Amino acid sequence: SGTAAVAVIRSDAALSGAVSTVDNVDVESGRITTVLALGELLRGGQPGRFGTGQGATSVTVPQ
């Protein structure tokens, strides 16, 4: 929960079904996950909720 962009997207079913979120872009692994998540979406993959915060379903994009 919260008002930050990631929390708002994760709490909205329509948005979270269209947009991947990464809640730990302040660390290197989060930045790598951001690139992997974008690549996954560009290849027609499903959006995900990545990171270590509340609402994350995976630390990074499954390989």
Asked if residue 40 lies in contact with residue 61, where contact means CB atoms within 8 angstroms, the answer is yes
**Model confidence over 2-56: pLDDT tens digits?**
679 999 999 999 999 999 999 999 999 999 999 999 999 999 999 999 999 999 9
State the residue range of the domain holding 9.
5-50
CA 63, CA 20: separation in Å to the nearest integer? 16
Q: Which amino acid is at 29?
A: S
Asked if residue 32 lies in contact with residue 8, where contact means CB atoms within 8 angstroms, the answer is no
Asked if residue 33 lies in contact with residue 50, where contact means CB atoms within 8 angstroms, the answer is yes
CB contact burial 5-26 (16+ within 10 A = b; e otherwise): ebbebbeeeeebeebbbbbbbe
pTM over the 0.85 mark: yes
Is residue 60 in a domain? Answer: no
Is residue 26 in a domain? Answer: yes
Is residue 16 in a domain? Answer: yes
Query: How many domains, the chain?
Result: 1
Percent of the chain, pLDDT > 90?
Answer: 94
Check whether 63 has a pLDDT greater than 90: no
Is residue 59 in a domain? Answer: no
Banded pLDDT at 1 (limits 50, 70, 90): low
